[in-house]
A and B are shown apart, each in its own frame.
Chain A
Amino acid sequence: DTGVSQDPRHKITKRGQNVTFRCDPISEHNRLYWYRQTLGQGPEFLTYFQNEAQLEKSRLLSDRFSAERPKGSFSTLEIQRTEQGDSAMYLCASSAGAYNSPLHFGNGTRLTVT
């Protein structure tokens, strides 16, 4: 088991472009979370999946953001028409099915919008 994997590690894009990030959770984990972290701040919850179902979304997730987990395994987070304010570290985490199971985080994707 290699842990939670995120790709790419870094992404630089121009304002207005679309970007897509991928997260591969630990294989037996059915819960997957996306968080966003800006410099000097703690992470902020974006959305959460249980298997393929997206069960909770933050108000931070505007209509330019969409997340999917089509087969209940890997997940993608897409940002359309990127803005400079989207620049942040996007973190993925996964956990097993039991409530309050520990979270395992990936190393994140750092997005810079120029």
Chain B
Amino acid sequence: KNEVEQSPQNLTAQEGEFITINCSYSVGISALHWLQQHPGGGIVSLFMLSSGKKKHGRLIATINIQEKHSSLHITASHPRDSAVYICSTQGGSEKLVFGKGTKLTVNP
């Protein structure tokens, strides 16, 4: 059974700081997703990756398949980045396994 662990659980930063959120998983996967969830529940898919690195605006996601580890970085953080960031993994089926999320608060 795949276990997905995220760290930290909660993160508070000042506007402009560089943010890193980590995700570790226990078994081989075919893809890893980073999701953003705002208060009220809506979830937005940020990245889906199976190797290497992806960048979108101020967001960067990396994955190390050998170490079973992924990171989500936010450069020049802004209060509007405040949300819960969730890592989820996809194995041989369509079923996703989710981490508990990292609650990010960026203060002005």
Contacts and interface: CB of A to CB of B under 8 A. Distances in A.
Contacts of A42: 4, 86, 88, 98-101
A89 B41 contact: yes
A29 interface: no
**Size category of the binding interface on chain B:** 20 to 34
Interface stretch (B43-51, B57-65, B70-78): B43-51
Interface residues on A, range: 20 to 34
Given A41-B100, A102-B48, A103-B33, A33 B41 contact: no
Interface of B is mostly: strand
Given A40-B100, A42-B88, A100-B30, A55 B45 contact: no
Overall SS of chain A's interface: strand
A43 B89 CA distance: 12
Interface of B: 4, 30-31, 33, 35, 40-45, 48, 50, 86, 88, 90, 93-101
Given A42-B99, A43-B86, 7 more contacts: A33-B96, A42-B86, A42-B100, A99-B30, A100-B31, A100-B90, A105-B44
